[in-house]
Amino acid sequence: MTNEKSDAAQEQTQWFTERSSCDGSGITLQISALLHSEQTPYQKIDIYQTKTFGKLLVIDDVVMLTTRDNFIYHEMMTHPVLFNHPQPRRVAIVGGGDCGSLREVAKHDCVEQIIQIEIDERVTRLSEQYFPELCTANQDRRVELQFCDAIAWMKTVPADSLDVIIVDSTDPIGPAEGLFQAAFYHDCARALKHNGLLIQQSESPLLHWQSISLPMQAAMKQAHFKSTRSLFFPQPVYPSGWWSATIAAREDIHLVRDAEAKNPLFKTDYYNYGIHLAAFSTPNFLID
């Protein structure tokens, strides 16, 4: 009888699992409810309530973020690149529809304009409803939300008009595939000022370094970026639990707002000066 009760309880327990057959791995979270599900013209969006990670945003069955750990990704996609720029005034965010990266960029008072280009407006509207803590900067006077194809948008940007481009994209499949190509990086390089910086999430260094990260860096250099540097950080709900982002520059890449990075005028939960420096240290097995 005890075994029967145990089996029944196990059957009632619900789990969401993101399976990656090519990597032979998966990420599993226990869920208590499906809060929302819809198919947009671009993708399927699901939002769950989990047992221990807060709310969970899933797009096309791939984990985008959870309430519990998204701060790591959003802080590392924004503060290192912004502190590596001498004076970032005009910032474009490609993707980032959940608005977490936008919130972090808006913490920098030196930034005068933030343009976010997200192809699927429903991601942002659902984030405003289910993840309002990520959307606190959406009404900031410096923010402009555009809902269109970022690849086409970047072709129209005046040359030498942006200081920083943050590509907060999904995996390089479907609508995001073109964001990992040399043609897109060429348009980004043209849009950036001479000291401008581009950062893009570059997947798991453990699982995707050869298949995604290195080809991305090669495409960036093909598009006439002079240098690239990757930074590394944990991300528990992404494949392998270890993630990376890659910065590309028309000049060199180094920490230039050193004093501000040591004593930022805003609160962060993961990012700090020591983590900034350490994140750019490349593990030996990734070095050619």
Annotated catalytic residues are 168
Cα separation, 67 vs 142, whole angstroms? 25
* Strand, helix or coil for residue 217: helix
Q: How far apart are CA 98 and CA 120, in angstroms?
A: 10
Hunting for tokens 């900031």 — which residue is that?
140
Q: Cα 139 to the chain's mean position, in Å? A: 21
User: What are the structure tokens assigned to 94, written together?
Assistant: 């490609």
Structure tokens at 93: 């965010």
In angstroms, rounded to a whole number, what is the distance separating the alpha carbons of residues 44 and 48? 13
Number of CB atoms found within 10 A of residue 116's CB: 26
- Compute CA distances 202 → 68, 143, 238, 268, 280, whole Å: 22, 25, 12, 22, 14
Beta bridge partners of 57: 47, 65
Q: How far apart are CA 232 and CA 282, in angstroms?
A: 8
What SS3 state is found at 75?
helix
Q: How far apart are CA 162 and CA 91, in angstroms?
A: 6
